[in-house]
Amino acid sequence: MKKSPASYRPALRLVTLGVLLVLCMGSRGFAEPASKRKVITLEQAYDRTLISDQSVRIAYIEIRKANLLPWSALTKLTPRITGGYSYNHSETKTSSLFDVPSSIGVAGTQNTNLSLQQTLIDFTFFPAYRYARLSGVTARLQYQLTIRNVLFGVAKAYYEVLKQQKIVAVDKDTLELAKKQLQLSQDQYDVGAVSKVDVLRGQSTLESAKQNLISDQNILALDRDVLANTLNLQGAAREFDVAQPEDSTEKAGKLEDHLAEAYANREDYKVSSIAIQQNIELRNEVIGHYAPTVSAQFAKNWAERTSAANSDSWDALVSVQVPIFTGGQREIDLRTAHHNIDEARLNLETTAKSVESDVRTTWLEVETLHETIQSLEAQVAANEQNYKDLVNQYQAGTATSLDTQTGLIQLVTTRTTLITQIYQYQIALRDLQRSMASFQNKRVKSAHIP
- What pLDDT digit, counting tens, does each position of 62-93 carry? 999 999 999 999 999 999 999 998 888 777 77
Closest residue by Cα to residue 56 from 232, 266, 222 = 232
Specify whether the CB–CB gap between 345 and 276 falls below 8 A: yes
Domain membership of residue 19 (yes or no) is no
Q: Are residues 159 and 43 in the same domain?
A: yes
Q: Are residues 206 and 284 in the same domain?
A: yes
Is pLDDT above 70 for 130? Answer: yes
Domain boundary, last residue among 267, 302, 325: 325
Least confident of 3-7, 47-51, 242-246, 383-387: 3-7
Tens digits of residue pLDDT in 391-412: 999 888 888 888 998 999 999 9
Average of per-residue pLDDT values in the chain? 87
Q: Write down the pLDDT at residue 103.
A: 60
Domain containing residue 242: CATH number: 1.20.1600.10
**Total number of domains in the chain:** 2
Q: Are residues 311 and 335 in the same domain?
A: no
Closest residue by Cα to residue 231 from 168, 166, 139, 156 = 156
Is pLDDT above 80 for 246? Answer: yes
Is pLDDT above 90 for 306? Answer: no
Mean per-residue pLDDT for 316-320? 91
What share of the chain has pLDDT > 70, as a percent?
Answer: 87
42-52 and 125-190 helices, crossing angle to 10°: 140
Q: Write down the pLDDT at residue 216.
A: 95
Least confident of 33-47, 263-277, 369-383: 33-47
Tens digits of residue pLDDT in 150-161: 999 999 999 999
Task: For residue 130, give its domain range.
Answer: 37-77+122-289+326-446
β-strands 293-305, 240-242: how paired?
Answer: unpaired
Mean per-residue pLDDT for 14-23? 38
Domain membership of residue 24 (yes or no) is no
Q: What whole-number distance in Å separates Cα of residue 25 and Cα of residue 18? A: 11
DSSP-H helix ranges across 191-252: 196-230
β-strands 38-40, 311-321: how paired?
Answer: unpaired
Q: Distance of alpha carbon 381 from its chain centroid, rounded?
A: 40
Q: Are residues 331 and 319 in the same domain?
A: no
Instruction: pLDDT band for 105, please (50, 70, 90 cuts).
Output: low
Instruction: pLDDT band for 100, please (50, 70, 90 cuts).
Output: low
Q: Are residues 127 and 148 in the same domain?
A: yes
Instruction: pLDDT band for 440, please (50, 70, 90 cuts).
Output: very high
Q: What whole-number distance in Å separates Cα of residue 199 and Cα of residue 204? A: 9
Q: What whole-number distance in Å separates Cα of residue 289 and Cα of residue 286? A: 5
1-to-4, 7 alpha-carbon distances in Å:
10, 13
Q: Are residues 321 and 442 in the same domain?
A: no
Closest residue by Cα to residue 395 from 184, 178, 179 = 184
Domain membership of residue 16 (yes or no) is no
Is pLDDT above 80 for 33? Answer: no
Mean per-residue pLDDT for 243-267? 87
Q: Are residues 105 and 183 in the same domain?
A: no
Q: Write down the pLDDT at residue 131.
A: 96
Mean per-residue pLDDT for 439-447? 90
Domain containing residue 104: CATH number: 2.20.200
Tens digits of residue pLDDT in 205-222: 999 999 999 999 999 999
Q: Are residues 224 and 333 in the same domain?
A: yes
Q: Are residues 218 and 115 in the same domain?
A: no
Q: Write down the pLDDT at residue 250.
A: 67
Q: Are residues 320 and 262 in the same domain?
A: no
What share of the chain has pLDDT > 90, as a percent?
Answer: 68
Domain boundary, last residue among 279, 301, 325: 325
Domain membership of residue 401 (yes or no) is yes
Domain membership of residue 11 (yes or no) is no
Q: Write down the pLDDT at residue 366.
A: 94
Is pLDDT above 80 for 229? Answer: yes
Q: Are residues 354 and 304 in the same domain?
A: no
Q: Are residues 271 and 418 in the same domain?
A: yes
Domain boundary, last residue among 325, 346, 372: 325
| Predicted model pTM | 0.81
Domain membership of residue 8 (yes or no) is no
- Higher-pLDDT residue of 13 and 355 is 355
Identify the top-confidence range among 48-57, 97-106, 346-355: 346-355
Closest residue by Cα to residue 269 from 384, 351, 187, 173 = 351
Counting every residue written for the chain, the total comes to: 450
Instruction: pLDDT band for 96, please (50, 70, 90 cuts).
Output: low
Domain membership of residue 339 (yes or no) is yes
Domain membership of residue 403 (yes or no) is yes
Q: Write down the pLDDT at residue 28.
A: 37
Specify whether the CB–CB gap between 230 and 49 falls below 8 A: yes
The CB density around residue 416, as the number of other CB atoms within 10 Å, is: 19
Specify whether the CB–CB gap between 372 and 417 falls below 8 A: no
329-396 and 267-288 helices, crossing angle to 10°: 170
60-to-86, 91, 230, 437 alpha-carbon distances in Å:
47, 63, 18, 19
Q: Write down the pLDDT at residue 310.
A: 75
Phi and psi for 391 in degrees, rounded to 5? -65, -45
